[in-house]
Structure 1
Amino acid sequence: MRVYEEILDYIRQIPVIDTHEHLVHAEDLLEGRDDVLQEFLLHYMSSDLISAGLKAETLETARDKKRDILGCWELIEPHWEFCGHTGYGRVLDDSVRAIYWIDGIRGSTIEELGEKFREANKPGHLKEILKDLCNIELAIIDPWTGRFKCDRSLFRRVWRPQNYIMPMPPEFDIVGWLEETYAVKIRSLSDWLEVFERELDENLANGIIGLKSVIAYQRPIRFEEVSFKDAAIVFQKALKDRTEKCEYGDKSLVLPKVVQD
Structure 2
Amino acid sequence: MTVNEVSKIANISVRTLHYYDEINLLKPHKLTESGYRIYENEQLEKLWQILFFKELGFKLETIKKIINDPQFDKEQALMQHKKLLLEKKKRLNKIINSIDKTLKEGFDITMIDTFSMENYEKYKEEAIEKYGETAINTYKKTSKYSKKKWEEINKEANTIYKELADNMDKDVDDPYVQKLIDDWRNHITYNYYECTIDIFRGLGNLYVADERFTKNIDKTKEGLARYMKEAIIYYCDNYQG
TM-score, with normalisation over the residues of structure 1? 0.22
Q: Higher RCO, 1 or 2 (CA under 8 Å, sep at least 6)?
A: 1
Say which structure is richer in strand: 1
Q: Which has the larger radius of gyration?
A: 1
